[in-house]
Structure 1
Amino acid sequence: MKTDNSALARRLGLYFVMLWFSIGGIGHFVATGTFASIVPPYLSDPYALVYVSGAFELLGVIGLMILRTRRIAGIGLFLLTIAVTPANVQMWLHPELYPIMPQWVYLLRLFAQVGLLACIWWSTRPAPKAEGIRNGPQFP
């Protein structure tokens, strides 16, 4: 079956989302302290939050690999990305606590998060009929 450019772009978007959350999910378990340090202080038990969010990221990636669960996994990863936004805002509002990068990088990160949300939504939704692929991009 011939794949048009929009189907290829959606597939690449899906691969990007899977890679992003695979690396991030693993990072939550490898660099737990780093992730816990950016959890806003008004949230309790930052280590538990880091482990839970990392586990959900990895479960989301697995869900993206299964055609039947791809859409719900995409919605879950979309909501998870929104849920971790306070950590990104924390870094932007308190750059003195994270002197490894300048404040503008943390603001840029918030804008990049909007792009990530768009990519998750676009690449995991059911494919339009014109793409000729039922329920989104298929894996080879």
Structure 2
Amino acid sequence: MKAHVRTTLRWLLAVAYGYAGWRHLATPEPFLAITPPWVPEPRLIVAATGIAEIAGAVGLMIPRLRKAAGWGLALYALCVWPANLHHALANVAIGGATLGWGYHAPRLAAQPLIIWWALWASGAIDWPFARRS
């Protein structure tokens, strides 16, 4: 795969995570609504996840931090999966509206792709595009 594709996807991921992190901090209510009830200190957790997203986005842009940021964002995506699952199964309303399985099923199914994307875009892994010797 061409290096410019990896670079473009890394920038896209950084922008997405940077924006999501900002949203976690600026408007935490939707994220608080989907936080499972067993999560302690939900307001603190939502703020921490916003900071983690922003830090990961910045880390993707710094070559010496890039792989660590990729691993961190992959782990982050894995750790927020329960909130996405809770959102779907509890049919949590955000702003008075609920989202059906047309939203939730692709979102949940995309989580492994998002994890892979963070790892591949950061250069932490090359799979499945590694050249065979």
TM-score over 0.5 for the pair: yes
Map of 2:112 onto structure 1: 114
TM-score (norm. length: structure 1): 0.81
TM-score (norm. length: structure 2): 0.85
Tell me which protein shows more helix as a share of its residues. 1
Map of 2:62 onto structure 1: 66
Kindly, what percent of the aligned residue pairs are identical? 28
Q: Distance in 1 between matches of 2:125 and 2:75?
A: 21
Map of 1:43 onto structure 2: 39
2:89 maps to a residue whose letter is L
1:12 paired to 2:8:
yes
Structure 2 unaligned segments of length 5 or more: list them. Answer: 127-133
Give 3-state SS (helix, strand or coil) of 2:36's partner. Answer: coil
Map of 2:51 onto structure 1: 55
Q: Distance in 2 between matches of 1:71 and 1:105?
A: 30
1:108–1:28 CA distance, 2 compared to 1 (3 A) = same
Map of 1:25 onto structure 2: 21
Contact 2:70 2:124 (C-alpha < 8 Å) held by counterparts: no
Contact 2:119 2:125 (C-alpha < 8 Å) held by counterparts: no
**What is the RMSD computed on CA atoms of the aligned residues?**
1.8
1:103–1:94 CA distance, 2 compared to 1 (3 A) = farther
1:111 maps to a residue whose letter is A
Q: Distance in 2 between matches of 1:42 and 1:126?
A: 32
Give 3-state SS (helix, strand or coil) of 1:67's partner. Answer: coil
1:117–1:44 CA distance, 2 compared to 1 (3 A) = same
Instruction: Work out the number of aligned pairs and report it.
Output: 124
Give 3-state SS (helix, strand or coil) of 1:68's partner. Answer: coil
Map of 2:30 onto structure 1: 34
Contact 2:32 2:46 (C-alpha < 8 Å) held by counterparts: yes
Structure 1 residue runs of 4+, over 3 Å off? none
